Amino acid sequence: MRPAAYGHPALTDLLDTLDPSAATPAVGGDKHAVLHSTFGFDGFRPGQEPVVDCLIEGGDALVIMPTGAGKSLCFQVPALIRGGFTIVVSPLVALMQNQVAALRLAGVAADTINSSRSRADNVETWRAVAAGRVTLLYMSPERLMTERMLDALKRMPLTMIVVDEAHCISQWGHSFRPEYEALVGLSDVFQDVTLAAFTATADTVTRDDITRRLFGREARVFVAGFDRPNIRLAVTPKASVRQQLLSFVEERKGQCGIVYCLSRKKTEETAAQLCEAGHTALAYHAGLDPDTRRRLLEKFLSEPDIVMAATIAFGMGIDKPDVRYVAHIDLPGSVEAYYQELGRAGRDGDPSDAAMFYGLDDIRMRRHFIEDSDASEERKRVDHRRLDALVAYCEASECRRRALLAYFGEASKSCGNCDICLDPPTMSDGTVWARSAVDVVLATGERFGVAHIVDVLVGKATEKVTQFHHENLDVYGTGVELKPAAWRSVIRQLVAAHVLEVDVGGYGGLRTTARGRSMGEGGETISLRLDTVKPNRRVRERRASRDEVAVAQGDLTLLQALKDLRLELARERGVPPYVVFHDATLVELAATRPESREAFGQVHGVGASKLKRFADAFLQVIAEHQT
């Protein structure tokens, strides 16, 4: 299969004329030696080493690895050992640039060819590639999959192609990108080149589709697990969502967070409300011009206390380790989308929170989006099933993490770190309530929304109730034993249990299902809970942060000074602070207070290149804080 030419003119002349006679020299060496000397790590994390071994041996691999588990090292270490050069396909310019900057600081010959750079810069990069001076080259799929680029690469010592965010290639994935579809031809064009694909989010259907479409040949599949145990999971029924969010963020004041919203307008309104409440908040969405988005992203990555109110446009490539919380004030479209978005919290391993505020109207809106899309009927059925799974997660009555991991085929025990484990709900036989709700939905003609159904149940004579003479129905007032808020909870659970459903084509009215009719006739029973909207208590037992550990072991004043120096060095280089050093490295420096370059080089995350570049500056700050 020959991929289509996208027609990027920048490298046309060079691609046809350069004859790369020099090959990138192999770095070689033992994988553990490379890991330590280049990246400053003493050992691999769980799940990394089998992938590294597979790629060193030249095997193809699909790797599903949770966010923050270190997937980049899985291909960077083999690339250094095998020599030649490796292409990394990435969907975002910002992600490419940050990874290239981090690799260069670690002493790795990395570069990128992308649309944000000038033609002269891209040409110079290609000259370096052709001369054998680049080990890892980051490119977008549309840059890679041109006829001229592919023909030129066939003459190069290309050893491996890595496809990052590989779920984008699958039409069953939650964020399919058409430009990724061209990558389907890679296995035909480069039959002797190792192919590797990485993603944090792919259910079984998506995994199978990626394997079939990208590899077209035997490939090993590595699933490193999906659990992010440091992230506390919670779902709260919507009451006054604005006040609920403000309370949630206020309890985390001074911390970095992301608030996901469904619309551009809501991001701007949310950011304004947070700013009014004294927080440093920004709004990010696809309607902003590229320069504004870039500026907002840089501010978010470089400052410690930004709250970003964003649509899903603020997505892949947000690799900031110290995001302490992700909150959703609107329901995502699927478990996969939610898992990827919450995974932007706590990449440094410190305690973090994922909170969702959720109501029945969210389900109605999501159903409407699915039905109103141009997707095939088969795709719509899949999307409805995926939404069902997310609603089931929201309505879980047992460990929420266990429900989340079960979706991805991973068994687990109760986690002790979700709202349900920490404050288990009381379940009751809700059959009588369910039958009352079904009776009212049927008696009113299966055409009214939840607010009207609740009014009839509690006997509230609103203008709409009297307009339709529903106060004369036998079912009027049959639910007075429950308050309206409790009835809304019951109805939401009945929708999740497929006793009732939202009629998307009928303007959001409730109607009964086959299960609902059976229940109304006395054929089924159901257990329900009566939700009460509780204040968002941050935690019952406060969790110590790495900074607090450093206070105990070292000096918080020193730690802040190290962070200030890191920020200064990062700004000089135009990179996010974590590219210089992660927080874990600074905490260890504050705790151990190394006095020599040799001792500095033994700190986690300090490789040979960073030792040479940064040791003297950091050692000077440490010396100034010796007591």
pLDDT tens-digit series, residues 543-598: 455 555 555 555 778 888 998 899 899 888 888 888 899 888 998 898 889 999 99
Distance CA 304, CA 319 (A): 13
Identify which of 602, 604, 597 has the alpha carbon closest to the alpha carbon of residue 582.
Answer: 604
CA distance 301 to 500: 44
On the CB side of 548, CA atoms within 13 Å amount to 6
Pairing of strands 220-223, 136-139: unpaired
Q: Cα separation of 312 and 323, whole Å?
A: 16
| Domains observed in the chain | 12-223 (3.40.50.300), 231-422 (3.40.50.300), 427-529 (1.10.10.10), 546-624 (1.10.150.80)
Residue 234 has which token pair? 């919670």
Show the CA angle centred on residue 83, arms to residues 115 and 113, nearest 5°. Answer: 5
Q: To 10 degrees, the CA torsion angle through 290, 296, 298, 301?
A: -140
Measured CA to CA, the distance from residue 52 to residue 35 in angstroms comes to 11
Residue-level pLDDT at 304 = 81
354 forms bridges with which residues in the sheet?
233, 326
Crossing angle of helices 556-573 and 608-624, in 10° steps, is: 130
d(CA 45, CA 48): 6
What totals of helices (H) and strands (E) does the chain contain, helices first?
29, 17
Please calculate the CA angle 326-329-333 and round it to the nearest 5 degrees: 90
Do the Cβ atoms of 255 and 280 come closer than 8 Å?
no
DSSP result, 151-168: HHHTTS-EEEEEESSGGG
Look at residue 384 and give its three-state secondary structure.
helix
Structure tokens at 556: 């918080």
- Ramachandran class of 58: left when φ > 0, alpha when ψ lies in -120 to 50, beta otherwise: left
Q: Are 78 and 129 in contact (CB under 8 A)?
A: no
Tell me if 464 sits within 8 A of 455, measured CB to CB: yes
Residue 110 CA to residue 357 CA, distance in Å, equals 42
The structure's pTM equals 0.77
Q: Half-sphere exposure of residue 73, counting CA atoms within 13 Å on the CB side? A: 24
**Which residues lie across from 510 on neighbouring strands?**
502
Lookup result for tokens 């190290």? 562
Residue ranges for the chain with pLDDT beneath 70: 1-29, 171-175, 316-317, 504-508, 531-554, 627
Q: Is 500 exposed, middle or buried (0-12, 13-18, 19+ CB in 10 A)?
A: buried
